[in-house]
Amino acid sequence: MSKTIGIVTGSLRKNSFSGSIADYVLSHAPEGYGFKIIDISALPVYNQDYDGADPKEYTVFRDEIKTLDGVLFITPEHNRSIPAALKNALDIGSRPYGQNVWDGKPGAVISQSPGGMGGFGANHHLRQVLAFLNVLTLAQPEAYIGSYHTLIDENGALNNKDTQNLIDGFLAAFAAWVEKLS
């Protein structure tokens, strides 16, 4: 039975590094797994005043998350934390109170940055939020990809074999995690 894993990228930028990693993941899914991009770019900023009369975008997003067997978060680091768009998506999915669509889903985090630390701050801030939302996040292996701009070709495609191997191993571990929790 095939499992569907959503990919939520923290960057909204065209040709982003997170998008480049997502493209690689889409074409290198472990056997029995299908990955799909979950677009967060059109989500209005979360406002509790909407609870009960949610914008259509909230409902469509929440319904899509509910159908997933797991979620892979791929994020850059913004000011040593996660991007606002990603936090917004997490908030929308967790509301209204008692209707958290993230609850109990297997999750994993890949962070990247042009700096050498590979988005370490974002990775750990995201894990803190995911723990509160009860996303069952893969602890090991961890995936921090530094100096990402040096690992891609002129079209933005990941072409570094060591990094490809790291991501392939990470995806295999994530698939085993999802199976364990199924």
Q: Give the mean model confidence (pLDDT) for residues 135-157.
A: 97
Q: Which pLDDT belongs to residue 181?
A: 97
Burial class (CB in 10 A: 0-12, 13-18, 19+), 154: exposed
Residue 40 has φ and ψ, to the nearest 5°, of: -110, 5
Q: In this model, does residue 47 exceed pLDDT 70? A: yes
Two tokens, residue 67:
């159908």
Q: In this model, does residue 62 exceed pLDDT 90? A: yes
End-to-end CA distance of the chain: 11
Half-sphere exposure of 29 (CA within 13 A, CB side): 18
CA distance 109 to 68: 16
* Residue 8 near residue 1 (C-beta atoms within 8 A): no
What percent of the chain shows pLDDT beyond 70?
99
Q: Give the mean model confidence (pLDDT) for residues 141-149.
A: 97
Q: Please give the mean pLDDT across all residues of the chain.
A: 96
Whether pTM > 0.85 for this model: the answer is yes
Q: Which pLDDT belongs to residue 135?
A: 98
Two tokens, residue 57:
């975008």
Two tokens, residue 155:
């079209």
Q: In this model, does residue 67 exceed pLDDT 90? A: yes
Taking Cα atoms as reference points, which of 2, 35, 31, 22 lies closest to residue 182?
A: 2
pLDDT digits (tens, 9 = 90+) for 97-133: 999 999 999 999 999 999 999 999 999 999 999 999 9
Sign of CA dihedral 115, 117, 120, 123: positive
CA distance 9 to 38: 8
Q: Which pLDDT belongs to residue 52?
A: 83
Q: Which residues pair with 33 in a beta bridge?
A: 3
Q: In this model, does residue 77 exceed pLDDT 80? A: yes
Band of pLDDT at residue 51, cut at 50, 70 and 90:
confident
Residues 6+ positions from 30 with CB-CB distance below 8 Å: 171, 172, 175
Band of pLDDT at residue 1, cut at 50, 70 and 90:
low
CA distance 132 to 120: 19
Residue 43 gets which letter from DSSP?
P
Residue 6 has φ and ψ, to the nearest 5°, of: -85, 145
Band of pLDDT at residue 15, cut at 50, 70 and 90:
very high
Q: Give the mean model confidence (pLDDT) for residues 158-163.
A: 98
